[in-house]
Chains A and B, each alone.
Chain A
């Protein structure tokens, strides 16, 4: 039967993929090899290795790392608490619901919340802590990013916790392990797949978000994403923008490989 039925569904799908996955990547690599005058050269990559760009890349990574870490710290206990509630699916839906609301609207809300006369400052004022400049700081950038990404971290961890066999916890307790040891030796290792999936879902976008940096951090924080947007849409230096994009693609591939073992481990189990 395999030989008889030709796989003709493959043709439109493969054609589409070739056109919109392979071609764009090839084009971006191609463009990165031309300088702003349209001459073939490696100047873009040389420029990328200059201190300005390296510093930006380093900062971008540092911010993405912080955002991922804080998201994980908030999301893990949330996911854990969620699995212990009655009507879990409903609660989960409520947690996920804000992520369906346009990202820009949520970001925009923080312009009000964090503004000089906004709610946050009003609360700080009543607590006697005084008014602070919250917008356009590193703090606001990281807070808003974490806010945006939390649901994406909660979901895979929640699923991993749900898949865990609860009799293992009973066994661990019966054998005299404390709650902390049970968590460290049983729960966390068993949900590592979910944690990796969550980190992957947060880290890569955190490297490249540019609208949050633009709206919330002013131009204080420049990430790889902001730099790409800047080169493509403002300075029109597509070559340099492509070079940064190529670097980002390589980083993405590395992150995928680093968190990739999960797929074999979890899906076949």
Chain B
């Protein structure tokens, strides 16, 4: 069957790949166009890259985005690990599943709903829209993801490991830091990484809770794209693409290295 279906299947895959990558390559290609439009390549230039690097406002926005991503990923990893430990400790299956359902609410909720409801929440609580509100919302929607990445590792862990540590006289904290946390480390890394990318990728939630004056990259791109085509967005997207590529390749390699140890692979998102 493979030999019979091989060629058409591969041709189909090729077309899908072409369509998936065409817009990205199109963006990259025209980022070097001196013509200033996304059609009719006139000449090669680095002008748009210069513009991006000289744009201090944009630099601040990139910094905002990175700070929010790192902070929200770190904090949500902390809460998420606690959440996973908590869910794992619940003995009754019914209660555990109920908690998991609540956990998944934010994952399946459309971004608009999360954004709108958080906007109400922050306004009611008197939290000024800006850095804090964006950070809090990113932490909020990242925690459930971390829980989902950590929980499978926890469930894989044999309870005899903990019993053994206890029998040998380890305290609760010692068991956690020397036995449990090292075992679930791949899950924690995967969760942190996912939280990072979710935060950097988010547009809709941030758009709702960002207020005036504070902006992240996604919101900025949206604002600029609404004004039409500007090739500095293209230049910016090339840089982001390279950054994403580095991040994904790094994660992939880290994962592969982890895989060499028996059963140490975090699931690919």
Contacts and interface: CB of A to CB of B under 8 A. Distances in A.
B117 A27 contact: yes
B16 A10 contact: no
Interface residues of B, number: 80
27 contacts: A17-B102, A21-B105, A22-B102, A81-B9, A81-B10, A84-B5, A89-B268, A97-B244, A98-B20, A101-B24, A102-B221, A103-B203, A104-B222, A104-B225, A105-B237, A105-B240, A112-B38, A113-B26, A118-B38, A122-B39, A147-B20, A150-B16, A179-B1, A211-B203, A211-B204, A232-B208, A249-B113
A13 interface: yes
Interface string A237-259: 01001100100110010001000
A230 B121 CA distance: 18
Contacts of A256: 108
A200 interface: yes
Interface string B49-93: 000000000000000000000000000000100110110011100
A253 to B, nearest CB: 9
B13 A24 contact: no
A147 B17 contact: no
Closest 6 A-B residue pairs measured CB to CB? A112-B38, A24-B117, A208-B110, A109-B23, A13-B83, A20-B140
Interface string A102-133: 11111111111101011100100000000000
B121 A27 contact: yes
Q: Is the interface of A mostly helix, strand, loop or mixed?
A: helix
B201 A100 contact: yes
Nearest to B100: A263
Contacts of A97: 244-245, 248
Interface residues of A, number: 84
A209 to B, nearest CB: 8
A24 B222 contact: no
A141 interface: no
Interface in A198-225: 200, 204-205, 207-211, 214-215, 224-225
